[in-house]
Structure 1
Amino acid sequence: MSGALSAPSFWWRPPGPAAFALAPIGWLYGAITASRMARKPAYTAAVPVICVGNFTVGGTGKTPFALALAEGLRARGEKPVFLTRGYGGRLSGGPPVLLDPARHGPVEAGDEPLLLAADGPVVIAADRAAGARLAERLGSVILMDDGLQNPALAKTVSLALVDAASGIGNGFCLPAGPLRAPVERQLAHIDALVTIGDGTAASPVEAAARARGLPIFRASLDAREAHWLTGIRVLAFAGIGRPERFAQSLRAAGAEVVQTRFFGDHRAFTEREAQELLDRAAQEDLVLVTTAKDRVRLGNDRGDNALARLARQAKVLGVEMRPDDPQGLAAFLGARLSQGVSPHS
């Protein structure tokens, strides 16, 4: 599994020299992506497809939100199947594969697919249309984790998540900013906006969504069973899109975050890094705490190498996505699923 670089800090500040210098490239990148999004889908699945995406690169809670949707769908008698690219895993580049956690580890599958697999069947496929052909035989509805900008598969419902605290950053497209395409052009392809967490940074996006008549839902990513953290001195480590949010969750749970060590999103930990974390925790008598996604990437805890010892020693802060209006969200999805493919596809 390849490592990943951290997002440049200037993406999340008002536009400055670096952003303006890269803006011409960003304009071209955004125009190409927007044009690609407008293509006619190559395949329409035999079952409904719900896409959980976002406007930017980096984490907005897509995987926890997909898990929350799956729970709601099962309550309605549906059999959801997750469809994911499997970013960072070796399986991503090959034909569609039904993930088997007993055979496929983080090197093969990536981290997020393994989290999803604890909840239901997962198909890994970079070719979303080919993946849908396999997934449609396994359940009654496909939950596509990411893929908003991918036109290969027709979506029944497209949801775009935006972080209320960070919004869309500086509003520029890659590499000048975090956007994959201009927001207005992406809004044309979604059916609802979902704002995650607290803050006002997403207000401009919400205003643009309202102008288009799109429904807006809200949700929060909350720590689960975190009472054990109260008063605990912690070394927090993570390789996720927005690691600062992880540290904030630890503090909100009552932990004293003494040290942090953040890596790039989807980063594969090395033996040297694992040993460094173990040494730093031992020197200051700190409890190592990480995310479920990072724990998956550590692999199994058997053996005496540093990664195995870190896997045994690190505690996990569990989180879950909680929609503010689950009944309203369920009603919206039910109505859209009964209507068939979204007109935006």
Structure 2
Amino acid sequence: MRAPGFWWRAPDRPGLLPRLLAPLGWIYAAGTARRLRQPGHVPQVPVICVGNLTAGGAGKTPTVIALIERLTARGRKVHVVSRGYGGRLEGPVRVEETRHRAEEVGDEPLLLSAFAPVWVAKDRAAGVRAAEAAGAEVILMDDGFQSPSVRPALSLVVVDAARGFGNGRCIPAGPLREPVATGLARADLVLTIGDEAAQSQFDAVWGTPDLSRLRGWLQPLQMGMDWKGERVLAFAGIADPSRFFASLRAEGAELVRGEALGDHETLSETLLRRLEMEAAATGAQLVTTEKDAARLPPQWRAKVLTLVVRLQVEDWSAMDAAFTKAGV
């Protein structure tokens, strides 16, 4: 699905429709609050929840990859637990990169399985127990900040700095799963992801959260590929495809056209053939995101290039201190 455009308008100019939908947003927020009062599973090892306050992506997957690398460097055996959005398996099941496909386990778990053991489970508590039994010393819970099923030792809220918290209203009037103040009151840290302009924009609209904050940005990896002058036809089924297209331009690629797909949209044979024909007619190379590449059918993977990005953080000290406090 694609989020409606009015979700991302400035909070002081929401428009008529969000105002009309506001009562439904209050009901949604009340339901989230009621659900969070339920008791959750108390894990035997530290669980770090990487979540957000808005529907759709905010940069959680690159954040989880960065945390895997940082925790591994601290000598910890890291496992990841995910609900496997877009996958059909109930789990708990350990994701095997060479055996599973995105339609079974979801694209994000498939991508993350290259970095650490990943467990997909619709019941997060069952996934945590499976990871514990398999020897996990610390568990990264991908999403689940609004779920009561597991009690984390540490919660990190990830925010797209450019989009912030949208119009500041709850679903369906806006993108929020719960009010900003309510969500941040439960968090231990907040990570805002974006360039300097986006970080400044976030500060101007939302101020500085009253908790430890990290500032980060997504840095493309060269991977032996020089994008300068490369004619590309890009497609992306992520929360904000325009950010991906902007990254390609910043790397020097000549973007013939960008096809914005719905978040996690299925990459059908019909869609891919259409894009391939257009790329051939314009002398362009097909390119997509790392997460979308995980959903490509096997016969298409050699035909599509991937722009790989990794999270860079200005100062990790607040995160490191939180790890120590959480016993990680």
Measure the CA separation in 2 of the matches of 1:31 and 1:205. 25
2:178 to 181, 186, 189: 181
Which whole-Å CA distance do the structure 1 matches of 2:302 and 2:79 have between them?
31
TM-score by length of 2: 0.93
5+ residue gaps, structure 2: none
Partner of 1:237: helix, strand, or coil? strand
TM-aligned CA deviation for residue 331 of structure 1: 2.8
Tell me the SS of whatever aligns to 2:162: coil
Mapped partners of 2:319, 2:24: distance in 1:
38
Paired residue secondary structure (1:229):
coil
Q: Distance in 1 between matches of 2:97 and 2:29?
A: 36
Question: Matched residues in 1 for 2:236 and 2:148: separation?
Answer: 32
Cα gap change, 1:319/1:113 in structure 2, threshold over 3 Å: closer, same or farther?
Answer: same
Matched AA of 2:106: G
- Deviating 4+ runs (over 6 angstroms): none
1:56-95 alignment, distance < 5 Å = 56-91=54-89, 94-95=90-91
1:20 matched to 2:16? The reply is no
Whether the 8 Å CA contact 2:164–2:206 is kept in 1: the answer is: no
Q: Quick one: which amino acid aligns to residue 72 of structure 1?
A: R
d(CA) in 1 for partners of 2:204 and 2:188?
17
Alpha-carbon offset, residue 281 of structure 1: 0.4
Residue number in structure 2 paired with 1:326: 316
Separation in structure 2 between the aligned mates of residue 206 and residue 313 of structure 1, nearest angstrom: 42
CA distance in 1, matches of 2:315, 2:205: 20
RMSD: 1.6
Q: 1:225 Cα deviation (Å)? A: 0.7
2:215 aligned residue (215, 218, 240): 218
The answer for the alignment partner of 1:30 in structure 2 is 29
Letter of the 1:24 partner, please give it: P
Counterpart position of 1:297 = 295
- Name the aligned partner's letter for residue 126 of structure 2: A
Structure 1 gap segments, 5+ residues each: 302-307, 339-345
Aligned residues with identical type, % of pairs = 47
SS of 1:337 mapped into structure 2: coil
Tell me which amino acid in the other structure corresponds to 1:331: A
State the partner residue of 1:341: none
Q: How far is 1:18 from its partner? A: 2.1
Structure-2 separation of matches of 1:237 and 1:95:
30
Greater displacement, 283-292 / 94-103: 94-103
Cα displacement (A) at 1:207: 3.4
Tell me what 2:111 maps to: 115
Distance 2:303 2:232 in 1: 12
1:96 match: 92
Q: Which of 121, 128, 133 is residue 125 of structure 1 equivalent to?
A: 121
Could you give the per-residue CA deviations for residues 271-324 of structure 1, whole angstroms, max 9, x where no partner exists? 2111110011011101111001111101312xxxxxx3xx32111000001111
Which of 234, 237, 250 pairs up with 2:235? 237
Aligned residue number for residue 342 of structure 1 = none
Deviation of the 1:195 alpha carbon: 0.8
2:312 equivalent to 1:314: no
Task: Give the TM-score normalised by the residue count of structure 1.
Answer: 0.89
Residue 135 (structure 2) pairs with residue 145 (structure 1): no
Secondary structure of the corresponding residue to residue 188 of structure 1? helix
CA drift of 1:34 comes to 2.4
- The aligned amino acid for 1:35 is R
Letter paired with 2:103: V
In 2, Cα distance between equivalents of 1:175 and 1:272 = 32
Equivalent position SS for 1:321: strand
Alignment partner, residue 2 of structure 2: 6
SS in 1 for 2:129: helix
Indicate the larger mover: 222-231 or 266-275.
Answer: 222-231
Any conservation in 2 of the 1:194–1:216 contact (CA below 8 Å)?
A: yes
Distance 1:165 1:222, change over 3 A: same
Q: Secondary structure at the match of 1:23?
A: helix
Check the 8 A contact 2:54/2:176 in 1, yes or no.
yes
Q: How many residues align?
A: 320
Alignment partners' CA distance in 1, 2:180 and 2:297 = 37
Q: Is the 8 A contact 1:34 1:186 kept in 2?
A: no
Q: Deviations over 1:64-101 (max 9, x none)?
A: 1011001011111100000001000011xx23111122
- In structure 2, distance between residues paired with 1:202 and 1:6: 23
Contact 1:96/1:131 (CA < 8 Å) preserved in 2?
Answer: yes
Structure 2 match to 1:170? 167
